Amino acid sequence: MDIDDVDRTPDAEIARMFRVWKTAHQMVIDRGYVINSDAYNDIEHFKERCLKNGVLHKESMMFQVQKNDNPNEQLLVVFPDDKPVGVKTLKALCQRMLDTKVSRGIVVFSGTMTAAANKAIQVINTKENRSYEIDTFSEADLMVNITHHQLVPKHYVLSEEEKKTLLAKYRLKETQLPRIQTTDPVAKYYGLKRGQVCDLFISKAASLFIVMADADFG
Can you give the pLDDT of all 218 residues of the chain as single tens digits? 444 445 789 999 999 999 999 999 999 999 999 998 999 999 999 999 999 999 999 999 999 999 998 999 999 999 999 999 999 999 999 999 999 999 999 999 998 999 999 999 999 998 887 889 999 999 999 999 999 988 887 888 888 898 899 889 888 888 888 888 878 898 899 998 888 888 887 655 556 666 665 544 44
Sheet holding 154-157, edge to edge: 154-157, 197-203, 206-213, 179-181
Question: Residue 66 contacts by C-beta under 8 Å, 6 or more apart in sequence?
Answer: 33, 34, 72, 73, 74, 75
Angle at 117 between CA 114 and CA 123, to 5 degrees: 145
Q: pLDDT value at position 217?
A: 42
Under a CB-based contact definition with an 8 Å cutoff, are residues 190 and 183 in contact?
no
Q: pLDDT value at position 188?
A: 93
- Please report which residue ranges of the chain form alpha helices under DSSP H: 11-30, 43-50, 87-100, 115-126, 160-169, 185-190
- Which of 31, 35, 56 has its CA nearest to residue 46? 56
Q: Is the dihedral of CA 20, 21, 22, 25 positive or negative?
A: positive
**pTM for the predicted model, two decimal places:** 0.86
Under a CB-based contact definition with an 8 Å cutoff, are residues 108 and 24 in contact?
yes
Q: pLDDT value at position 218?
A: 42
Q: pLDDT value at position 213?
A: 59
